[in-house]
Amino acid sequence: MKFFSLIRRLWLLALLPAGLLLAPGLAHADVTCTSYASGITFSPISGLATGTTSTGTINWTCTNNSFITSANVMLCLNIGAGTGGTSGTTRLMAGGTPALQFQLYQDAANTQVWGSLLGGPNPTPYQQPPSFTIPGYFFGLTNNTYSGSATVYGAIPAGQSAVPPGSYSSSFAGPNSIVSFNANYGGGSPASCGASNSGPSFPFTVTATVIKECQVTAGAASNINLGSVPSTQSNIAGNSSISVSCTRTTPYYIGLLPSNGSTTGAGTMSGILSGNTDKVPYQLYSNAGLSNQWGNTATSASVGNGVAGTGTGLAQSIPVYAKAPSADYTPDSYSDTVTVNVNY
């Protein structure tokens, strides 16, 4: 009997550790998350053009590593200022002076700025609505993961004509792009995702290319009127101006081409009366002294016999002068059309 009793006690002692290992209430509850994001690349833009938009995606997966016990999780995706910095609440892409303004939003309507609980000028992160429940681990018999994704809406506002052409970017990593979450195990939903239990970073980069561009405004407002003159008058002169807008720091060269195709700016005006075949010669000039003939040999690399300028992002007024050597022609109203060519 004594021998049997000793064997039973040893058997119970051997089972006791195994019982402790299998007790679910003693397991350590733990939720971990992984995440990754795609970059946001804007189509090439001009500072003279309207704004543009682009999108990216953040994907995430959370795993409940606790044994049996389910977890109620509140998760946020935090995006900070980025390496380009901010101007007020507006994000910036570095690459030129001034920097290129842009913003990241949580919605396609671009009304809710995407921010971060971990710092920065925009305090509102993306929050996975609502909280979600992840079953606990049970020997591979349960799905103890929960995955989701969110679209990041990027926008570059219009009206940035002072931004010079070039490549611009802002990178988001570490605290500038991070998951934060709170988890309750076997209870109710967390009150917030908070800044504790910060999960992994989802690094990404926002890029844009600003291209050079020029726009010219001429038309009726730029017409040169030599007036009504007697046929005995000579050297009739007049002037007007054209408006050129080019992206900042962009060199440009302007050529003027009369309708007769003269590359030296020596055109002819035609009358409107039936049967009048007279042609009134005129010459285009770039200066008030009428000494610099303005033609159309300018290229994107050389001024030729044109006029050179450098873009400021704003409209620049360029004067144009014309002179008709003689008015000794059939009385009529004479005119010609001149094409303005801006090379850059």
Give tens-digit pLDDT for 198-246. Answer: 789 999 999 999 999 999 999 898 999 999 999 999 999 999 999 999 9
Helices (DSSP H) in 39-78: which residue ranges?
A: none
Single-letter amino acid, residue 194: G
Q: Is 51 helix (H, G, I), strand (E, B) or coil?
A: coil
Q: Which residues pair with 36 in a beta bridge?
A: 59
Other C-beta atoms closer than 10 Å to the C-beta of 97 total 11
Single-letter amino acid, residue 328: D
Bridging pattern class, strands 279-285 and 315-326: antiparallel
Residue 244 CA to residue 77 CA, distance in Å, equals 45
Distances from the Cα of 126 to the Cα of 6, 116, 122, 178, angstroms = 64, 8, 11, 11
Q: Which of 1-15, 154-168, 235-249, 293-307 has the lowest mean pLDDT?
A: 1-15
Tell me how many degrees the CA angle 159-173-41 measures, rounded to the nearest 5.
40
Please spell the DSSP secondary structure of 274-315, one letter per residue.
TT---EEEEEEESSTTS-SB--S---SS--TTSEEEE--SSE
Q: Supply the mean pLDDT for the chain.
A: 90
Element at 92 (helix H, strand E): strand 90-93
Q: Dihedrals φ, ψ of 83, to 5°?
A: -70, -20
Asked whether the predicted pLDDT for residue 174 surpasses 60, the reply is yes
Element at 16 (helix H, strand E): helix 2-22
Q: Dihedrals φ, ψ of 2, to 5°?
A: -65, -40
pLDDT, residue 329, reads 98
The token pair at 4 is: 């049997």
Q: Which residues pair with 119 in a beta bridge?
A: none
Tell me if 169 sits within 8 A of 207, measured CB to CB.
yes
Asked whether the predicted pLDDT for residue 16 surpasses 90, the reply is no
Q: How confident is the model at residue 68 (pLDDT cuts 50, 70, 90)?
A: confident
pLDDT, residue 17, reads 36
Other C-beta atoms closer than 10 Å to the C-beta of 24 total 11
Between 24 and 126, residue with greater pLDDT: 126
pLDDT, residue 196, reads 62
What average pLDDT score do residues 35-39 get? 97
Domains of the chain: 25-210 (2.60.40), 214-343 (2.60.40.1090)
Residue of 166, 175, 290 whose CA lies nearest to 224: 290
Burial of 252 (0-12, 13-18, 19+ CB in 10 A): buried
pLDDT, residue 142, reads 81
Residue 160 CA to residue 170 CA, distance in Å, equals 17
pLDDT, residue 208, reads 97
Asked whether the predicted pLDDT for residue 19 surpasses 70, the reply is no
Residue 84 CA to residue 156 CA, distance in Å, equals 14
